[in-house]
Structure 1
């Protein structure tokens, strides 16, 4: 992880920092990232709602962290994930970056 990215992420919580560290290479490749949230994660189907627009964030880890924090502030009791798409490899993966403290 680059020193600048570490500095940008100092205000994020540790789970978010770990998650963003794992997608650092995706950001450098220009992957499209969508922040999504849902009030309840079900075993078979969970309807995720988008937060903002899908974006490449120009490799800016700080902007992703800021958007995650805004989503968390607006939806404290929701699960939040990053949905990441790399069109150059035709691949997609999702990463949960926030879960509410009191579930159920």
Structure 2
């Protein structure tokens, strides 16, 4: 199962050249870019680990791509996403976010169905790999 989150989620994975163009678009718009990684890509897990600090005032996408490659080298077996933030409104708003790295195997999620009072049915999702401890969910 392929995890689909953020922009471009239903497209094939972007090449580094395409990622560089998206990063340069963010820079040209004055957005700060950050890199995050996780082994728990559940849609409600908004707290991914941050790689370094958000990158403000970078004029060239090459600097961000260098950091992305360093993150891939350290965490290439995890999900890595790139996010761009706009602070022109006085607060940080996510303008663009997309996955730039995936583990070799993506086990995905199961849908849990629970019948409750009356005819009410509740659904929840659970990752197939959540039974493994953090840091060991996508080991090769």
Residue matched to 1:22:
22
Is residue 100 of structure 1 aligned with residue 103 of structure 2? yes
Q: Which has the higher helix share?
A: 1
Unpaired segments ≥5 residues, structure 2: 1-13, 108-140
CA contact (8 A) 1:35 1:82 kept: yes
Contact 1:36/1:82 (<8 A) preserved = yes
> TM-score, normalising length from structure 2?
0.56
Larger RCO (alpha carbons 8 Å, 6+ apart): 1
1:58 is displaced (CA, Å) by 1.6
- Larger-Rg structure: 2
Runs of 4+ aligned residues of structure 1 deviating over 4 Å after TM superposition are none
Report the equivalent of 2:68. Answer: 68
TM-score, normalization: structure 1? 0.73
The unaligned stretches of length 5 or more in structure 1 are 1-13
Is 1:33–1:83's contact at 8 Å kept on the other side of the alignment? yes
RMSD: 2.2
Q: Are the counterparts in 1 of residues 23 and 61 from structure 2 also a CA contact under 8 Å?
A: no
Cα deviation, 1:31-86, whole Å, max 9, x if unaligned, reads 11111000131143253000000112522211111111110110121111111101
1:82-97 correspondence to structure 2 within 5 Å: 82-88=82-88, 91-92=93-94, 93-97=96-100
Aligned pairs, number: 92
Q: Counterpart in 1 of 2:55?
A: 55
Q: Which whole-Å CA distance do the structure 2 matches of 1:40 and 1:16 have between them?
A: 23
Using a 3 Å threshold, how does the CA distance of structure 1 residues 20 and 57 change in structure 2: closer, same or farther?
farther
